[in-house]
Amino acid sequence: MFHEFYFLCCLLTIPAAQAEILLTKAENSRLVLQIDNAKLAADDFRTKYETELGMRQLVEADTNSLRRTLDELTLCKADLEMQVESLKEELMCLKKNHEEEVNTLRCQLGDRLNVEVDAAPPVDLNKILDEMRCQYEALVENNRRDVEAWFNTQTEELNQQVVSSSEQLQCCQTELIELRRNVNALEIELQAQHSMRNSLESTLAETEARYSSQLAQMQCLITNVESQLAEIRCDLERQNQEYQVLLDVKARLESEIATYRRLLEGEDCRLPAHPCAMECKPAIRVPHISSVPCAPTVPCAPAAQLSTQIRTITEEIRDGKVISSRERVQPL
């Protein structure tokens, strides 16, 4: 019974803990959302404060400029008032001097002369001053109105410029963020390109070293082959010379063989088969038969007169060919 009760209590307590966890998670998310909203509101208030501070500074600068103009106008007014006072004093002095001169003239003339002067009506200086003051006040009021209108237009323009500047600032901030992202991406790409360039340079250096070693080996092989070709060329030239010498020897031997053959043929022809033969082949030693021919019916005399001759044949042979031949006959 106790175990069953404990199990039921565990089943009842687990959903409550999960609910508390969910509630705390929801509360945490709500607090995080409120914090984000507060941060956004603080940022908005900060931007508004900055814009209002800028507007205030601009207004203060305009106010200071207007105060300067007001001070200048006040100084001008004081100068004009001083000029008016000085003119009043001069007028009083002139009146006083005129009265004194008139009195002195009256005293000098006495009752003998009655002078009637038709003078112009006296000028009311107070009225003139009042008119001037009214004109000056009207001028000041017009200037004040103009300045207020100008100040209002300038403030409206400044407000419009502030709004447009805030919009441009936001656009510039977004563009700046995009440009920073692009710069970061380009820097990453630049680093990748640098690494790839370094790897390619190392590969190029290795390839150049390998090909230079192979080129050196090929150059050694070429030099060896060239030396072998030079040796073979020398051997061929030597063999060609030997072959030419052998050809010359062969030609001499062939000429000697031909000479010996002719000599042998001449020895063979020197003893004919019939003593009455009319013709014989040329030889070195040829028997000379008498010019009296034998009669066909009469047998030749056994004791015919013979003569011996030496025939020398000189031939010039070049490359196995007979170029010239000379024959000389010498009787014994």
Tell me what pLDDT residue 281 has.
39
Q: What one-character-per-residue DSSP string does 259-291 give? A: HHHHHHHHHHHHS-SSTT-S-----SEEEEEPS
Please, where are the H alpha helices in the chain?
A: 2-109, 125-270
Question: What are phi and psi for residue 123, nearest 5 degrees?
Answer: -90, 130
The pLDDT value recorded for residue 121 is: 58
Q: Quick one: pLDDT at residue 236?
A: 92
Over residues 188-238, the pLDDT tens digits come to: 989 889 888 998 999 999 999 999 999 999 999 999 999 999 999 999 999
- Burial classification of residue 289, based on how many CB atoms lie within 10 Å of its CB (0-12 exposed, 13-18 middle, 19 or more buried): buried
Distance CA 38, CA 35 (A): 5
| Token pair belonging to 138 | 């009207």
- Is pTM beyond 0.85? Reply is no
Which pLDDT score, from 0 to 100, does residue 232 have? 93
pLDDT of residue 209: 92
Q: Which residues of the chain have pLDDT under 50?
A: 1-12, 113, 271-305
C-alpha to C-alpha distance for 319 and 251, rounded to whole angstroms: 7
pLDDT at 229 (0 to 100): 92
For 13, 23, 213, 279, 284, the CA distances from 270, given in Å and listed in that order, are: 159, 155, 83, 11, 9
